[in-house]
Amino acid sequence: MDQARANFAMYYTLTQELLKFINKEDIDEFLELEHQRSDLVERMKALPETEEYRQTEECRVLVGKIKPLDMQVVYKAKAWLNKSRQQNATVHAYDIQNVNNLGNIFNKKY
């Protein structure tokens, strides 16, 4: 049960860190932490004590703290992704190299 308690505490800490790095838009660190959290979830699923710990009041309180943070992380990650896609689309909108070859002739200096 101690390992399950430690896993949930680590999940809470990683979620707080995810929120901190997505707020800073440090996506590389965010993705690394998300990978670590995914690995932790797999370990939690493999641990039989996890289900026993989930029935405790202590776990319910901790999950109550985690859920709003998780929602913020998902919301901010989606907002960042949409912003990134929009910026990428804007950059590609100005990319006219293959659109009109005649324009390239006029842009050359002779």
- Residues 42-56: what's their mean pLDDT? 89
Looking at every residue in the chain, the average pLDDT score rounds to: 84
- Phi/psi of residue 26, nearest 5 degrees: -90, 85
Q: Which of 1, 109, 12, 5 is nearest to 70 (CA)?
A: 12
pLDDT value of position 41: 92
pLDDT value of position 97: 56
- Residues 83-89: what's their mean pLDDT? 75
Greater confidence (11 vs 90) lies with 11
pLDDT value of position 61: 94
